[in-house]
Structure 1
């Protein structure tokens, strides 16, 4: 049997492969890098990430060393970490960080729930059998759904799932709620845009506007738009508003995972233009205009009374 060569960081950590947990961490971290959380050359704190992710520093540092090897992060003289390079595409991220077992099951559960293959409640044992997975992976996946407000533990090993946005009333109620939250966030006295994040959002939306529709993946489209709305709300500095928009994005994600194939070129272009106009108004500190554009943007996305929920809604 051929022995595997073990590569180690300066701290003696094996960086040749990522464990399931480390892959989960990496796939949480990479979208933050892509969204412009840190500018090139800015410090990335492993302690801050440990607090944010609720995970000990050791596996987080393992992931940071892995990204050093991949040319994304560099290490400073004082053994800190700074951003060296930002990945350009989702495909590059997939190549750098293959999905973990939890990532794979997470997407399977979301798709199954959106398509009615899982009811409102299920036990861990039922999910283990249905998806041919281990109990540990099922439990960690359910805990991830729980942290996103999409599932809650019942007595014993049972779990109850959140309602899907799978009918016109629930979709319209979601948009009405988002209109209140997002427009209100922009008008908060504490609202202060992060210019690096704003530039990253502009780049992402301009790319969507210029890219041929055939090249746009549904999942990439959804995540770019979800990130736009969450980032804008985050500039309010109000943790309760941020928590609210994250839960709405999670609910939308569960439903729209089943409908990614139905992208509309008109819808994609219109949403990207709206997003760029909102960002331009924020840059010029015209928050009333930004809020008005956002209000119109969300209002016209409502589902009419005689139609089914549309795919890839903004």
Structure 2
């Protein structure tokens, strides 16, 4: 059990708007994601200089974030050794809950949701988005550049932008599932598939956390992040960068629709997905990758069939 010193604060303090700047909030979310993914073992050093290089920022905001996480009891500062990990995120703790989205993340999510619902046309100018969302041109451009990096938007000749097709037609959704069956199930069967034990435990904690919480306590970002992290991580154990990059782009396309349609999901369907995920992880942990691929095939195929049976108006591609 970690004993709090007189200068430490409660976990809720990171939720206060004044606690972290926009840059610090982005860094904090990245560090928490790395902790959740098992980057460091307990008592392992967390280097502020290494993280600054990885994130492409100066050392000062990274150090400030690590100090804030130390106040939460996740890290500890040990003189010349710097920071080291004390514990992973506990069940019920989420990155979204511990660090609210920055302004840039909020704008990004609003643009994604608006595009999914058709509030933003396939082709649009920065000026139109500035007026529609009441944001600065710089903020809009940064969000669009991020979407460009993710392969879901591209700059047109001139001053406009074009968005990639959303998964809003039956044909696009069917093709998305076909693509994922090939990529995800195939990734489990590549030679030298190597799962990471710490990441398996992190993914299991994510899924059990969803199972244990009532649906009104699960945000759409929490669910999509846990779902996308599961699928991307099990593919990453293939060691094939092209498979990972392809799935990340697919998840970016899915994010547009699924963040918008989360309210249509029932707790039953969320629980079914989480139990499927846990079964797949169990098979992977036992080394039976063929069985894991078969379970994943059934999981994705069942989700695809659910969409076909119920229709887009009542059911979204939730996995």
Q: TM-score range by the shorter chain?
A: 0.7 to 0.9
- Of the three residues 29, 33, 46, the one matched with 1:27 is 29
Secondary structure of the residue aligned to 1:39 is: coil
Find the counterpart in structure 1 of residue 311 from structure 2.
307
Find the counterpart in structure 2 of residue 117 from structure 1.
119
Q: CA deviation at 1:269?
A: 2.2
Whether the aligned pair in 2 keeps the contact of 1:168 and 1:305 (CA below 8 Å) is no
Matched, 1:127 2:134: no
What stretches of structure 1 of length at least 5 have no aligned partner? 1-6, 8-15
Secondary structure of the residue aligned to 1:237 is: coil
Aligned equivalents of 1:261 and 1:183: distance in 2? 28
Query: Runs of 4 or more off by more than 6 Å in structure 1?
Result: none
**Residue deviations 1:117-155 (CA, integer Å, cap 9, x gap):** 111122222211111111221122122222222222233
Whether the aligned pair in 2 keeps the contact of 1:183 and 1:291 (CA below 8 Å) is yes
After TM superposition, the structure 1 = structure 2 runs for residues 73-92 of structure 1, keeping only pairs within 5 Å, are 73-88=75-90
Whether the aligned pair in 2 keeps the contact of 1:148 and 1:250 (CA below 8 Å) is yes
Aligned equivalents of 1:77 and 1:33: distance in 2? 21
Aligned residues: 300
Secondary structure of the residue aligned to 2:308 is: coil
Aligned equivalents of 1:99 and 1:214: distance in 2? 19
More moved, 173-182 vs 25-34: 25-34
Whether the aligned pair in 1 keeps the contact of 2:45 and 2:81 (CA below 8 Å) is no
Secondary structure of the residue aligned to 1:25 is: helix
> Residues 238, 55 of structure 1: CA spacing in aligned structure 2 closer, same or farther, 3 A cutoff?
farther
After TM superposition, the structure 1 = structure 2 runs for residues 1-314 of structure 1, keeping only pairs within 5 Å, are 17-88=19-90, 93-94=95-96, 96-302=98-304, 303-304=307-308, 307-308=311-312, 310-311=315-316, 313-314=318-319
Q: If each structure's helix is expressed as a fraction of its own residues, which one has the higher value?
A: 2
More moved, 103-112 vs 135-144: 135-144
**Residue deviations 1:154-189 (CA, integer Å, cap 9, x gap):** 334322212111111111111111111111111112
Aligned equivalents of 1:31 and 1:259: distance in 2? 24
Aligned equivalents of 1:24 and 1:153: distance in 2? 25
Find the counterpart in structure 1 of residue 13 from structure 2.
none
Whether the aligned pair in 1 keeps the contact of 2:91 and 2:205 (CA below 8 Å) is no
Secondary structure of the residue aligned to 1:74 is: strand
Secondary structure of the residue aligned to 1:188 is: coil
**Residue deviations 1:232-251 (CA, integer Å, cap 9, x gap):** 11111111111111111111
Q: CA deviation at 1:48?
A: 4.7
Aligned equivalents of 2:54 and 2:239: distance in 1? 15
More moved, 153-162 vs 112-121: 153-162
- TM-score normalised to structure 1 length: 0.85
More moved, 83-92 vs 66-75: 83-92
Whether the aligned pair in 1 keeps the contact of 2:150 and 2:252 (CA below 8 Å) is yes
Aligned equivalents of 1:98 and 1:214: distance in 2? 18
- TM-score normalised to structure 2 length: 0.84
